[in-house]
Each structure stands twice: as C-alpha cells, then as structure tokens.
Structure 1
Amino acid sequence: MEHSFAQNLKRFFTNSGFIAFFIAVLLSLYVGQTISPTWTTTKVEIDAKEDGDGNFYYIYREKKQLLLPPSDEPILSKENLARLNAEGKEPSKKEEVVTEKDASGKLLYYKVTAKRHWQIWSLLPAFIAIILCWWTREPITALGSGIICGVLLVGDINIFTSALLPNIGSKDAAAILILYLWFLGGLLGIWAKTGASLAFAEYVTHKFVRGPKSAKLVAWFLGVIFFQGGTISAVLVGTTVKPIADKERVSHEELSLIVDSTSSPIAALLAFNAWPGYVQAFIYVSGVSWLATEQDRIAFFFRSIPYSFYAIFAVISTFLISIDKFPSKKLRLARERAKETGELDAPGAEPLSSKELELTEVPENYTPHLVDFMLPLFTILGIAVGSYIYTGTPEILSAFGISLVLAMFLACFRGMKLRDVVEGMASGWKGVVLGSIILLLAICIGNVSKNAGGGAYLVDLLGSGVPYYLLPGILLVICIVISFSTGTSWGTMAVTFPLGMPLSYAVALSNGLANPEFYMMICFATVLNGSIFGDQCSPISDTTILSSMCTGCDLMDHVKSQIPVAVTSVLLALICWTVCVVLYA
C-alpha cells in the first residue's frame, strides 16, 4: 500500500498539467511580490453641462456626476507617469479632470484615468487557463488555475475575497445563474418530463419527412427553432431527429454537422436567449457612450448581429448541405456510402454512445402533446421579441421565468402530478449545473484578467501601431486559437472581450476613423464569431462532443468533416469584415 501511495504521489507531481500550474503559480507570486506595475492612462472627452447652481456635471452610467475642479498641475500627465514608473511608484490618485481649448477657444473637459498592467505577465491568467485546458481537457480546473494566477499576480493572497466572492456575487453572475440554471434548466427538464420536445419533433417529421433531404431539412429547421444554442440545441435536435434520419439513411457525418452548425451560430443570430446578457458583462469600455449601461451594451449586441458573417455563412452552408448542394468531398462520399450501402458511419468508426442523453421517461398517465412545447416557446419569443420592439431591450429573464411557470401550470392542468413536474425540473437543473459552474468561473477569469491589466497592456503595445484594417483579423485568429484549444466559446469571450474592445476603441481613435462605433461592431463580431468557429471545430468542445453523441457519430469523423465547411465560411466572413472596415469605418 505504501508503494502504491508513493507511485501515485510521484505520478501526481510528474503530471505535465500540475507542473505547468505549479510554474505559473510561482511566476505569479514572483511578479506580484517583486515587480511593480506599469501605469498608463486613458483620456476621454466629457460632455460637460452646467446645472442651475452653476456646477458642471456629466452623465455616467445614467447618473449625474459632478465635475471635480480641473487640475492646475495634472498628476496623470505622461511625464509624471513616466517618472513614477521609473521609480516603481503608483500615482497618488487614479482619476482627474483636465481642460483644454480647441481651435475656436472653446473649453473642453477630459477625464483622465490611470490603469495598470504588468507587461506581458498581464496575459498569464488567460494563458495558463488555455494551456491547462488543452492538456487536461477539463475547463473547471483550468479556469480555476487561471483565476488563482491572476489574483496572485496583482499581489493578493486571499483568492476567495478578492476574486470569487466579488465576481460570483455580482449582479451579472446572479442574472446568468438564474437564467441558465433555474429557468432554462427547469424548462428543459419539464419539456423532457412531458415529452414536449419529442412530440414537436415527431409532428414536424411526420408532416414533412419524405426522404434523406427532407430529413436533413427538418434537422436544420429544428436547429433554427431551438435557438438557445450550444449544448441545449445539440441535445434537443440530435436526440429527436436521429431516429428519423437513421431511417432515411442520412449519414452520421452529415447529421452531426447539421446539428452542430445550427447550434451556436443560430444563437448568435436569433439572440433572444442568454447570450446578450452574458456577453454584455465583458464589453464595457470606460468613456464609450454606446457601451455605458447594460441596456446600451445589449442594444449594441443586437445592432452588431448583421455583421456576424461567419454565423450567417455557417447557417447558409448548413442549409446547402441539407439539400446536397455544398461541394464537400468528405460529405459527398459519406452521403454516397449511406445511400448505396446503408452504412451510416465510415469503416472503422467508433460512434459515441448517446444513451446518457435519452429524454426522461414520461409518466404513464400523461400523454405528450404539441401544446406542451409550443405554448412556452411562443411565450419566450413573444415576450423577448415584443419587449425588444417596444423598449429596445429584450426581457430575457422575464421571458424564461414566465415560460417556466406557464410550463409548470400547463403540465399540472393536463394531468401531471406536481411531484413529477418538480422531478422533471430537478433533472433539468442537474443537467446544467456543470455548465453553470463553468460560466461563473468564466466571469471570474474575465474580470481577473481585466484587473491584471491585460487589456491595458495590449492597448499600450498595439493601440497606436496596429493598422486598423488588420485588427479584426488579428482578433479573429486570437479567438480561434483560444476557443479551439479550450473547447469553449463563452470562456473565450470572457477572456477576449475585455482585451479586444478597449483595443478596438483605441485603434479607432488613433487612426482617426470617422465611425468608431461601426468599427467596434466589426471587432465585436469577429470576437463573437471567432469564438464560435474555434469551439465548433474543437474536438474537446462540449458542443462538438454532444453533437457526435446525440447523432451516434464518430467524434473525429465529425470534426474532420466539419472543419472544411467551417473554414470556408470563416474565410468568406473575414473577407466581408475587412471590406466593411476598409470601405465604411
């Protein structure tokens, strides 16, 4: 037994993931305790106004902020900061107001804010999370390790009070937890218990399926209908369509691709779901009026949807695959094999089992009906779309909360016992607990990376030097590398948006672009779509794995057949983004 313990201990300490984590922790400790941060500033013009008492103020996050008297001798001037950085000291204050006169003699007010970074070490939290996720294929420990490194980097030791509690206890985290875990998980559980989604799929397939093409079109259509995206869409669409598609001899490579490519891309386009509420938490940029409030940031998300070119091309290419019009050699061979031999998988394939993803058994005394699915779904759409039309902001939480309550009452009204309804909800909650934990950790590492100054460092490094027309492509490549390596699009957004959005604003200003908001929309779209693309193509992505499992496809056959289609779409998207920036920014 002692020998076994020694072997286990040796195996643990020689594990490459542990070694990487241990080195990163030591580096973070060393940097945090011995290296002084570099201070830099951002300078933003303030729309100063005068009130009835003669005081000047400006509006910040929908609140009136009185202007401090302008500094006669600015502390945050470039000269002073250069001296303080050389001496390893921090400025005595982090904000001040300065004034300047324009060519006409008008007095302009500027707010100068000091920000810190630790040079390239500021990127260490995100880097160690990526490396560990690649090696361990386990996002929770990888994100947790990144958080630990980020906290130690800024010189703090208490990880719980400095990182976990402030971020997990924030309003943004609470909203995501309530939406993703309580409302969405509960609704999915009720749909499973009542057989609602299965009844809907059976109705659609009975009415429309006449052969392989129509079976694939139904799968594509259901992918659009289940626009919540990601794992939710993969499970619901893959599980419900597979029996019909198998009967019609649709190859598993084609079916898994359709299921995967109508998950996250559709969620980005039909964004009446959890995505805007999640993303807005990471795109605030100080001084940018169109990103000042939560409502502004959600509205910015929706205005950027027309520029999600990769998502658009991915959905179009998937439709073409459904009607056998996409010129992919791998898919054509798979289609011919299934048609001629009836073999739905390639020779030597090892399909993933999907038994764990079967829907919960419906109680014997309950008959599934289409209304169980359609009424809650239309409630979500009606409230989300209607509130967006009338107020400019979709009420996502209200839509899902009311839909969940309606689904509960509907199930009870149609004869299901309350105990069974609650059991269904509990089953749904269990299914999304892991995802909820990952989301919360993603929020933490995003804020930790921001606190470590990664964005400020990149702005310092590239803000005035990178050509504006290259930045969208650079952000795209960064997101693809991160999301492909980690297998998570939301985790990639949490890391990249806090870095990319301030950088895009700095580049727009330094290049004197006439429309910085449009330019930021393009950069926003490249981060969003690059994260989706890398996640789709990654063999360690939960969506990729679930798409394979639910359709019974070999994992690597799915990945290999999907990559050429996705690459074609992303190259077309990159051309469109570059043309937009060059012609209209």
Structure 2
Amino acid sequence: MQLIDYSDSFLSVVPAFLALALAIITRRVLLSLGIGVLVGVFMLVGGAPLDAAAQLKSMAVSLIWDGNDWSLGKLKILIFLLLLGIFTSLLTYSGSNQAFADWAKQHIKDQRGAKMLTACLVFVTFIDDYFHSLAVGAIARPVTDKFKVSRAKLAYILDSTAAPMCVLMPVSSWGASIIATLSGLLVTYHITGYTPMGLFVSMSLMNYYALFALLMVFTVAYFSFDIGSMAELERAARESEAGDSTESSHGQGRVYALIIPVLVLIFSTIAAMLYTGAQALDSFSLLGAFENTDVNTSLVFGGVCGVSAVLLCTIGTIAGKDYPHAVFQGMKSMIGAITILILAWLISIVVSDMHTGEYLSKLVAGNINPALLPAILFLLGSVMAFATGTSWGTFGIMLPIAAAMAVKVDPSLTVPCMSAVMAGAVCGDHCSPISDTTILSSTGAHCNHIDHVTSQLPYALTVAASATVGYLALGFTQSALLGFIVSGIAMFGLILLLKNKQNRPA
C-alpha cells in the first residue's frame, strides 16, 4: 500500500495537533488520541476505509513485530507497568505505604519536607525517566498524601525532575543514547576537538531548559510557588479532610516492608542494566554498559524482583485470600495508563509516516542570522517534541540537522545549536499530553492526566521563556556562562512577576 507523502505540506501536522487540541479542550485523552490516530490513518491512505483498516492493523502489529523479528521493547514496558501496579497494590494492601507515611510524618514535619523528599529522590533514580516517574511515585505518594500535597503537584515534581536529570547525566539511558548519537555526528560532520563524552558534558552545561527546570522544581517545592491551575488544585488538597489519598490498607504494615522492596527494585534494575549492556562489550566500562543496555528488559527484571521482595516482606500482613484481589486491583489500576500509552505510540507512528518532524525542520531553512540559530532550534525542538510526544524522536531528527546547519553556517555554534535541540526536546516533552513520560508521571502520581498537563504547563513555559532569552545571549556572545546568567535573571524576574500577579486580589 502506497502512503501519501506529506513531508512538504502543512497537513503533516494535522493529526498530532488535532489530538493535542482535543485533549486539552475535551479533557478526554483516550477519545482525543483515538481521533488523532484515525484522522492520520485516513489521510495517509487517501480516505479509503478498507485501506485505513489495513494500515491501522499494520501499525498495531508493528508495535511488537518489525517485519523480520519480534520487537518486544514496548510490550516489556507494558509488562513493567502491570508489575508496578501489582507492586504498589501489595504495598497498599499490606499497610506498608501507610506505615511509611506514619514514619515519615514523625521525621518530615510539613508539606515542604514531603515535596523536597520527592524532588531529591531523583538523585537516586536518575537512571531512566520511566523508572523514576513510576518508582518515586509509588514511594512518595503516601507521604505527599499525608501532608495534603495535591496529586498534580506530585506529578509535576516527578515529570520535571525525570527527563531533565536523565538528559544531563551520562550514566542514564538517555545520556548513553545521546553519547552514542554524538559519536556518529563527530565523524559524519568532521567535528574536531571533542570526544563524545566531552561533547555531551559541554552540551549539558548549555542545556538551560533542563538546568532551570530542575531549579524551578526545587523553588516550587521549597517556597510553594503555585500558579495557574496548580494553585487551585493545591487549595483543594489542603481543604480536603484527609489529603487526596484514596488508598486503603488491609493489614498492619511495617516500614521495612516498603523500604526493602523499593531498594530491591532500584538496585536489581541497575544491575540488570549493567549486565545487559556488558553483554555487548568486549571489555567492561560503566559508560559502555549504559550505552548498550536493554532498558526495557532491565525494567521487567527489576519489576519481578521488586514484586518478589514485596511478597516476602508482607508475609503475615495480608490475608491469603486478599493476595489475588490485590494483584487484580494492581493490574486494573494500570489499564488506563496502558491504553493511553498504546494510543500515544500509534499516533507517534502516524506522525512519523506523515513526516511531521521533517516538515517542521524545514521551517528553519532560509536566510537567518546565525546568532539566532540556538534560540530558533530550541523553539523548533520544543514544537516538534510537543507535536510528536517524544524527546528521543526529536533528538534523532534534530541533532543531525542542528549539526549540519551549524557546521555550514558557523562552526563555533555547533555545540550551542545541539544543546538547544536537547533542551527543546525536553521542553516540548514536558508540555505535550501525548508524551509517554508525561503519561507515566500522571500514572505514578495517580493524577488526572489533563490536570497534570495543564498545571505543569505554566512552569514549563516560564522556564522555556527564560531559556529562549539565554539562547539568544549565547548565540550573540557565544558565552555559555553569560547565557546561563541571562536565563537565571529572566527566570527570577518571571517568577517575581507571576507571584505578584497570583497574590493580586481579583
């Protein structure tokens, strides 16, 4: 079947932006994504119903079959979600979540402590954004519920620490993948003076969005800086009688029954990542192992180990007849997230077949001032990641384009331009309701997905505006430090402006 080529047409953005607009307007994510997928499929085949049905079937099969062999990466993510649902359900039924919350209440005295604890956990779980959003959500949710922190605030902290930290750390699934990509770009475009690791570090220092997104999270957590819909959601949580928690326990939990399984989950996942990565190496190296790791297999292995640890630690605290019910409820709790994720993957295939990324990248072609390139590429990367819902896809499309443009126009802007692409990819990912990281952060926090998207958006846009100003300064001065300072000043000014506006009487 021959698909229609939309690479040179503005129509290539229709399915993605239709799904995004409907999700925000109707707040019905499944319906919006489904419509986006169907519209895209019909556009690709020219409107023929039978061809559309065949194309939709082909797209669904491609999630697990690449044409020559089984491709089980996405299936393993779904299995990990089910395992994590079982994991958290068993902790809840055993009373371990409540026991940890009671323990935390004795040591964490207020909301600020609960939010800072959640934010600081990223320094332990930065190896993968999926893992961080789901695992930290399971750990922190009973604590933030206890202190009446809204689920939207928890989802924001999870989401805005996950990708920014992962993209800055070389020893993470993101960092290793980016370093591998950079290695090829250094050769292809004859970029000298850098090793792949050195180039990654230099780019990370200019990743203003990721750096200031992390700073914004800690500002919000420490100072309770609530703007937009977040202020309303936080107010509703504070006025509730017992926080937002809807979880109930069926046993007398123990604190160690939560801590030990969580540690087993974290360390078994890390061990599996190192092991699977080492299989592809002749001689072991930490960076090489993370560069070649099989993240999805490692997550499943860690999930199995975590569930096993929960079962061992909760013996005697859950009645035998309650185990099957706890397992079923845990799996059931993940059905919504799994459905959204599958539809997000399908619309990602539609976006790829529509050549949305290629069309958007062509928008920067033409005669422009080279000094504007970092800011333009940051904004374009943001739009592309927002439309496609994937940071990694944006990296794959935009990093080669940024390198090619910079080498041709002004080689001294090569690193700033590629840094801007990385920053834009994370920014767009944060703003997009079809991003898998955004979906999993909502899942980890047990938060309404659109509540999470709309409450996070003002913070993401504030940081994005600050980063844009920083990239303008970087482009014109080629000083990374000055760009960082300008971004910081811009963000500080915007925070003061928004805070004064929030405190102003209606």
Q: Same fold (TM over 0.5)?
A: yes
Secondary structure of the residue that 1:370 maps to in structure 2?
helix
- 1:263 pairs with 2:159: yes
1:466-522, CA deviations, whole angstroms, 9 ceiling, x for partnerless residues? 4454455445546767888x9xxx736488667645643553354243574663343
Alpha-carbon separation, structure 2, partners of 1:475 and 1:210: 44
How is 1:542-561 mapped onto 2 (pairs within 5 angstroms)? none
Task: Indicate yes or no: 2:55 matched with 1:159.
Answer: no
2: distance between equivalents of 1:384 and 1:371? 20
Q: Which amino acid aligns with 2:339?
A: I
* Letter matched to residue 209 of structure 2: Y
Partner residue in 2 for 1:66: none
1:141-175 alpha-carbon deviations (Å, 9 max, x no partner): 33333333334434454234435245323459954
Match of 1:463, SS state, is: coil
* Alpha carbons of structure 1 residues 443 and 578: separation in structure 2 relative to 1, 3 Å: farther
Structure 2 counterpart of 1:436 = 338
**Pairs within 5 Å for 1:304-323:** 307-323=206-222
| CA distance in structure 2 between the partners assigned to 1:355 and 1:148 by the alignment | 36
Q: Which residue of 2 aligns with 1:519?
A: 417
Normalising by structure 2, what TM-score? 0.64
Equivalent of residue 368 in structure 1, options 245, 253, 257: 257
Of residues 439, 451, 463, the one that matches 1:569 is 463
Give the conservation status (yes or no) of the 8 Å contact 1:126–1:146.
yes
Provide the C-alpha distance between the structure 2 equivalents of 1:203 and 1:303, rounded to a whole number of angstroms.
44
| 8 Å CA contact 1:189, 1:427 repeated in 2 | yes
* 1:216-255 residue CA offsets vs partner (Å, 9 max, x unmatched): 4334334665664686368536631235424xxxxx57x8
Q: Please list, as runs of the form range in 1=range in 2, the aligned pairs for 1:153-552 lying within 5 A after superposition.
A: 153-155=43-45, 157=48, 158-162=51-55, 163-165=58-60, 167-170=62-65, 174-195=71-92, 198=97, 201-202=100-101, 205=104, 208-222=107-121, 228=129, 232=134, 235-236=137-138, 239-246=141-148, 252=149, 257=153, 260-270=156-166, 276=173, 307-324=206-223, 328=225, 345=235, 354=244, 356=246, 358=247, 361=250, 368-384=257-273, 387=277, 388-393=286-291, 394-414=293-313, 415=315, 424-474=326-376, 476-477=378-379, 491=389, 493=391, 500-501=398-399, 503-514=401-412, 516=414, 519-533=417-431
Tell me how far apart the structure 2 counterparts of residues 351 and 497 of structure 1 sit (CA, whole Å). 45
Cα shift at 1:190:
1.8
In 1, distance between residues paired with 2:105 and 2:85? 23
Note if contact 2:385-2:429 (Cα within 8 Å) is conserved in structure 1. yes
**Is the Cα contact below 8 Å between 2:274 and 2:290 reproduced in 1?**
no
8 Å contact 1:224–1:266 — kept in the other structure? no
Question: Aligned residue for 2:9?
Answer: 119
Q: Relative to structure 1, is the Cα distance of residues 244 and 124 closer, same or farther in structure 2, using a 3 angstrom cutoff?
A: closer
Task: Tell me how far apart the structure 1 counterparts of residues 361 and 80 of structure 2 sit (CA, whole Å).
Answer: 39
Q: Is the 8 Å Cα contact of residues 504 and 520 (structure 1) preserved in structure 2?
A: yes
User: Contact (CA 8 Å) 1:265, 1:532: kept in 2 or not?
Assistant: no
The C-alpha deviation readout for 1:67-99, integer Å capped at 9, x for no partner, is: xxxxxxxxxxxxxxxxxxxxxxxxxxxxxxxxx
Cα RMSD between the aligned structures? 5.5
SS in 2 for 1:263: helix
Distance 1:535 1:266 in 2: 16
Relative distance call for 1:289 and 1:133 in structure 2 (3 A) is: farther
Q: 1:238 to 1:191 in 2, by over 3 A?
A: closer
State the Cα distance separating 1:367 from its structure 2 match. 8.7
Distance in structure 2 (CA, Å) of the matches to 1:167 and 1:238? 36
TM superposition score normalised by structure 1: 0.57
Residues in 2 aligned to 1:517 and 1:473: alpha-carbon distance in whole angstroms: 13
Gaps of 5+ in 2: 189-195, 278-285, 481-506
Identity %: 17
User: 1: CA distance between counterparts of 2:27 and 2:226?
Assistant: 30
Q: 1:194 corresponds to which letter in structure 2?
A: L
Asked if structure 1 preserves the Cα contact closer than 8 Å seen for 2:20 and 2:433, the reply is no
Q: What aligned pairs does 1:54-203 form with structure 2 within 5 A after superposition?
A: 117-155=7-45, 157=48, 158-162=51-55, 163-165=58-60, 167-170=62-65, 174-195=71-92, 198=97, 201-202=100-101
Segments of 5+ residues of structure 1 without an aligned counterpart are 1-28, 38-115, 247-251, 292-296, 335-343
Higher-Rg member (1/2) = 1
Q: 1:200, 1:226 → 2: CA distance?
A: 22
Question: Contact (CA 8 Å) 1:454, 1:499: kept in 2 or not?
Answer: no
**2:489 matched to which residue of 1?**
none
Partner AA of 1:527 in structure 2: A
Q: Which has the higher helix share?
A: 2
Distance 1:381 1:576, change over 3 A: farther
Letter in 2 for 1:373: V
Equivalent-residue separation in structure 1 for 2:177 and 2:288 (angstroms): 20
- Which residue identity is paired with 2:80? F
Distance 1:365 1:316 in 2: 34
Distance in 1, matches of 2:250 and 2:460, equals: 36
Secondary structure, aligned partner of 1:169: coil
Say whether the 8 Å CA contact 1:304–1:525 is kept in structure 2: no
Distance in 2, matches of 1:441 and 1:233, equals 23
Q: Supply the distance in 1 between the matched residues of 2:219 and 2:100 (Cα, whole angstroms).
A: 21
Structure 1 residues 234, 459: closer, same or farther in 2, change over 3 A?
Answer: same
Question: Would the alpha carbon gap of residues 427 and 276 (structure 1) be closer, same or farther in structure 2, given more than 3 Å must change?
Answer: farther
Q: What one-letter code is carried by the residue in structure 2 that aligns with 1:159?
A: A
- Contact 1:317 1:565 (C-alpha < 8 Å) held by counterparts: yes
Q: Tell me, in whole angstroms, the C-alpha distance in 1 between the residues paired with 2:445 and 2:299.
A: 28
Decide whether aligned partners of structure 1 residues 462 and 572 sit closer, same or farther in structure 2, where only a CA change above 3 A counts. closer
In the other structure, the counterpart of 1:55 is none
Question: 1:352 touches 1:548 (CA, 8 Å); kept in 2?
Answer: no
CA distance in structure 1 between the aligned counterparts of 2:175 and 2:45, rounded to whole angstroms: 28
1:193 positional shift: 0.2
As a proportion of its length, which structure holds more strand? 1
Match of 1:88 in 2: none
